[in-house]
Structure 1
Amino acid sequence: MARATTARIHIDALRHNLARIRAAAPHAKVMAVVKADGYGHGLERVAQALAGADAFGVAALSDAQRLRAAGFSQTIVLLSGFDEAADLAQLRQLSVATVVHHPFQLELLAADHGSPISVWLKMDSGMHRLGFPPESFAGTYRRLQSMPNVAADIVCMSHFASSDEPENPQTPDQLRCFDAHLPEGASVCSLSNSAAVLAWPAAHRQWLRAGGALYGLSVASGKTGADFGLKPAMTLSTRLISIQQVCAGERVGYAGSYLCPEDMPIGVAAIGYGDGYPRNIRPGTPALLNGRRVPIIGRVSMDLMTVDLRSQPQAAVGDELTLWGEGLPVEEIAEAAGTISYELTCSITRRVRFQED
């Protein structure tokens, strides 16, 4: 019998979330960011659900290869850009646009004599990760314009560091920096990530780059995706495979980290950090058993976890246990693990069975 741990991907939720992004900026084109295997939801599956997007954003050429092999003809943009001269041939073969963010890429393009490649030119407007300094951006833009192997439709872009914090002045500072250094004649721009789409309308411009919001994930600290009208695209669940009666004073799990305060039933569920559930959650983090919350007790191990069944004495082997999904936001679990929801969905391992509904 197959292991019970399942990630159900909700296709209608993905489509709903894309519609929510479009409604927030109806005059902009939408790039669906599908990097990290579609944020852990499955690249091809997500791309099919989001086929109404105007483009796909990937972090690796291998993802672009998978999309083309699956028959997707949309624009694809390589968000981290190319790394070596050999990548240029692949970009052409796959008809993939590339971000250019560093002088070494300019020199590779200058030495190249192939057919035109579409370029998204990145400015470092304040995040200080990738991008050209503002003062050299216009000159870089003009240099690219002069190259016969660069397509004429250069997109100017930048990336926000704090758009998930509505009161943080960094986003308006980055906007002012970008606008002040935008080259004359540059008419197509892309600034907004998911948080900026929903919170910073001044940043919408011609292209949106939506990532986490498409998967129903929160775009602001202390909130869930539902707070923004988004629907969770993944439900992670398993089943109870054992119920133990444990006496008061006995300890549960590795290192005996949980001390039973009374005689009590303990449920054992077939999921652990080997499936991608975080080992370092706080004691008492909830799961949903038959739609009702029960606390996780003891340490999460590689294959198993234990839950307190005192509130559900009727529980039986085979009952479904939901780790996140409708009624238990993944953001709540992420907060209990000291991380973000994006990391949790991206961490689901290969032994988890994926299903669509």
Structure 2
Amino acid sequence: MRPAHALINLANLRYNYLLAKQLSSSKALAVVKANAYGHGAVRCAEALADLADGYAVACIEEALQLRQAGLEHPILLLEGWFEASELPLIAEQQLWVVVHHHGQLADLEQANLSQPVHVWLKLDSGMHRVGFTPEEYPAIWQRLQANPNVTSLTKITHFSRADEPSTGRTEQQLAVFEQATKNLDGPSSLCNSAGVLAWPQAHGDWLRPGIMLYGATPFDFAQDSATNLKPVMQLDSKIIAVRHVPANEPIGYGSRFVTARPTRVGVVAMGYADGYPRHAPDGTPVLVDGLRTTLAGRVSMDMLTVDLTDLPESGLGSHVRLWGEGLNASEVAGWAGTIAYQLFCNLNRVPRHYQQ
């Protein structure tokens, strides 16, 4: 079979979750939305089942996958619901919900539910994506407290620049949150992965670690706590052909890469149909038999090419690592002008194998 595959190290996933917990005394929802950032939501959630305080997903479809797998933990719907018709099922499945706009507020007041639901009320503290304004937030909190369809309330917001600690933006958002919620009793949740790692003063009662669970740093600099993360996904393949190309010859589509010397070129069974970024430039690092080399030529649908000239022992059948242990996905993403989140979420076609 085609050698391209992703190996998911579930022990490292557990380690990263425990690291989040060790950085704080707060509870933590493991964020497994978007198929656990491409790692496989059910398998990752099951691997964390004896550790996790709960899970967070984007929508009810993702939550139902976990319920159908037998997971009975709290599951938070980060976007709440999209149609009022979802609410009876949300109550039946005992899902927790984020409420972030007036339409949801009206839905909840008009619903006839079998049991009340846990609501996380979203404050727009400055990201300006979703959530209620600081001015209206206290009154909406009181309104929900009086709603018989609500069994508990949690204060939640989201930081827009927690991965950029020097901008001052997180301090501003934290101040807005504290002012808007100062007279409202109840637990709070503010921190995504960057918040967990870099903003201990904002940890609140519930953390929401996402990308850090999968071993990638949210920062574009060496951050002390993030250096302890362990990569969970190894994206691997093999050299399937070797070519000897003279100097001054183009390689691949568009003739983007032109050899500066006689060059041994390795062809790797990996392409953009697998999720490797097509726009990755020449020079993007790749490991062949554990040694660094670079991309040489444009990534195509099923193949990419690497420079083997300085790796004389490597050749047909050699092991290739595109990211993972020894080559962090965040570094590859930086070369490709994107983020590790997108690399993981775009993973397609390659089979996932799981290592306990």
Alpha-carbon separation, structure 2, partners of 1:135 and 1:227? 36
Q: Which amino acid aligns with 1:44?
A: V
1:244-323 alignment, distance < 5 Å? 244-323=243-322
Match of 1:33 among 21, 31, 53: 31
Alpha-carbon separation, structure 1, partners of 2:323 and 2:93? 37
The offset of 1:225, in angstroms, is: 9.1
Provide the residue aligned with 1:147 in structure 2: 147
Residues 13 and 232, structure 2, Cα contact 8 Å, conserved in 1 = yes
The offset of 1:183, in angstroms, is: 5.7
The offset of 1:227, in angstroms, is: 4.2
Q: Given the superposition, is the C-alpha separation of residues 342 and 62 from structure 1 closer, same or farther in structure 2, using an over 3 Å criterion?
A: same
- Match of 2:320, SS state, is strand
Alpha-carbon separation, structure 1, partners of 2:183 and 2:123? 15
1:46-61 alignment, distance < 5 Å? 46-51=44-49, 52-61=51-60
The offset of 1:140, in angstroms, is: 0.3
Alpha-carbon separation, structure 2, partners of 1:226 and 1:319? 34
Provide the residue aligned with 1:162 in structure 2: 161
Alpha-carbon separation, structure 1, partners of 2:331 and 2:223? 8
Q: TM-score, normalised by structure 2?
A: 0.96
Residues 138 and 184, structure 2, Cα contact 8 Å, conserved in 1 = no
Q: TM-score, normalised by structure 1?
A: 0.96
Q: Which amino acid aligns with 1:143?
A: R
Q: Structure 2 stretches of 5 or more lacking a match?
A: none
CA offsets 1:177-226 (integer angstroms, 9 cap, x no match) = 11111163422111111111111111111111111111111121234798
Q: Which amino acid aligns with 2:40?
A: G
Alpha-carbon separation, structure 1, partners of 2:172 and 2:246? 60
The offset of 1:109, in angstroms, is: 1.1
Q: Which amino acid aligns with 2:120?
A: W
Alpha-carbon separation, structure 1, partners of 2:299 and 2:233? 21
Alpha-carbon separation, structure 2, partners of 1:237 and 1:225? 28
Verify: 1:134 aligned to 2:128, yes or no. Answer: no
Aligned positions, number:
353
Alpha-carbon separation, structure 2, partners of 1:206 and 1:96? 19
CA offsets 1:18-46 (integer angstroms, 9 cap, x no match) = 11101100x21110000010011000111
- Match of 2:295, SS state, is strand
The offset of 1:250, in angstroms, is: 2.1
Bigger mean CA offset, 176-185 vs 213-222: 176-185
Residues 224 and 329, structure 1, Cα contact 8 Å, conserved in 2 = no
Provide the residue aligned with 2:69 in structure 1: 70
The offset of 1:318, in angstroms, is: 1.1
Bigger mean CA offset, 273-282 vs 252-261: 252-261
Verify: 1:217 aligned to 2:235, yes or no. Answer: no
Alpha-carbon separation, structure 1, partners of 2:315 and 2:275? 25
Alpha-carbon separation, structure 1, partners of 2:225 and 2:354? 21
Q: Structure 1 stretches of 5 or more lacking a match?
A: none
CA offsets 1:306-356 (integer angstroms, 9 cap, x no match) = 11111112222111110011111111110111111111011100x201111
